[in-house]
């Protein structure tokens, strides 16, 4: 009796070279990891239960904004947001970036970029702690609606008028008509008798 065969089609992932912005964030983290002992090997840092240094965390947040790791392979975040599966080639010299993506996949926690600090809470009733002023300005209420008009498809004609006197336009015409005449005398290199 023939057996039933189920064909499992995995989604095909395209592979591409990293874009300039992805290369920039990878290079920035790699340069930092070159002189920071904590960020040089994020997998080892994760294994010790520690976190990256403050500057390394900022670079790692930037890398995580462009790349993520799934099954030990680097994927594009932008392509994922567009509903595609896109593998990104990481350059061979970006060893710390590979380790960073694997560490994030295995549980390395990165703070959110816009994460606010916890408020100061005092348990001493005699010590009064005032609230901190807001770092972001209060949004002002605007009631005026500004509509933008689409640009026309035809290019606008620009008419240049001479603003430097009557000689300016004639000098510009002469400048186009002038040709360079060399004063150098060219002699043939061959000697004929």
Question: Positive or negative, the Cα torsion across 11, 16, 22, 26?
Answer: positive
Could you tell me if residue 45 is inside a domain? yes
Could you tell me if residue 114 is inside a domain? no
> What H or E segment, with its residue span, contains residue 76?
strand 73-76
Helix orientation angle between 54-64 and 20-35, rounded to the nearest 10 degrees: 160
Could you tell me if residue 119 is inside a domain? no
Q: Residue with structure tokens 């015409």?
A: 173
Which range of residues forms the domain containing residue 26?
A: 15-106
- pLDDT, tens digit, for every residue of 47-84? 998 889 989 999 999 999 999 999 889 999 988 888 88
Q: What pLDDT shows up at residue 182?
A: 74
Q: What pLDDT shows up at residue 183?
A: 77
Q: Residue with structure tokens 């926690």?
A: 109
Q: What pLDDT shows up at residue 14?
A: 84
The total number of structural domains that make up the chain: 1
DSSP conformation class of 153: S
59-63 long-range Cβ contacts below 8 angstroms, 24+ apart: 59/25, 59/28, 59/29, 59/32, 60/29, 60/100, 60/104, 60/110, 61/110, 61/111, 61/112, 61/113, 62/25, 62/28, 62/29, 63/25, 63/26, 63/29, 63/97, 63/100, 63/101
The pTM of the full predicted model, rounded to 2 decimals, is: 0.54
Could you tell me if residue 66 is inside a domain? yes
Could you tell me if residue 178 is inside a domain? no
What's the token pair of residue 93?
A: 């010299």
Could you tell me if residue 156 is inside a domain? no
Could you tell me if residue 193 is inside a domain? no
Could you tell me if residue 111 is inside a domain? no
Which residues 6+ apart lie within 8 Å of 65 measured at CB? 25, 77, 113
Walk along the chain (193 residues) and give the pLDDT tens digit of each residue. Answer: 566 766 655 566 788 999 999 999 999 999 999 999 999 999 999 999 888 998 999 999 999 999 999 988 999 998 888 888 889 999 999 999 999 999 999 988 888 766 666 666 667 777 776 776 666 666 666 666 666 666 566 566 666 555 555 566 666 666 666 666 777 777 767 766 6
């Amino acid at each position: 009796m023939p057996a039933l065969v189920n064909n499992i089609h995995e989604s095909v992932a395209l592979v591409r070279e990293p874009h300039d912005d992805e290369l920039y964030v990878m290079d920035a983290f790699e340069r930092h990891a070159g002189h920071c002992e904590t960020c040089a090997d994020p997998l080892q840092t994760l294994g010790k239960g520690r976190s990256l240094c403050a500057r390394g965390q900022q670079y790692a947040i930037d890398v995580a904004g462009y790349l993520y790791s799934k099954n030990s392979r680097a994927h594009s975040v932008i392509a994922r947001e567009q509903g595609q599966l896109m593998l990104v080639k990481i350059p061979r010299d970006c060893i710390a970036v590979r380790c960073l993506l694997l560490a994030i996949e295995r549980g390395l926690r990165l703070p959110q970029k816009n994460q606010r600090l916890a408020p100061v809470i005092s348990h001493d009733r005699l010590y009064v702690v005032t609230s901190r002023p807001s770092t972001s300005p209060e949004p002002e209420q605007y009631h005026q609606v500004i509509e933008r008009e689409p640009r026309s498809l035809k290019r606008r004609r620009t008419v240049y008028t001479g603003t430097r006197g009557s000689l300016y336009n004639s000098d510009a015409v002469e400048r186009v008509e002038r040709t360079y005449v060399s004063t150098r005398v060219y002699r043939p290199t061959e000697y004929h008798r």
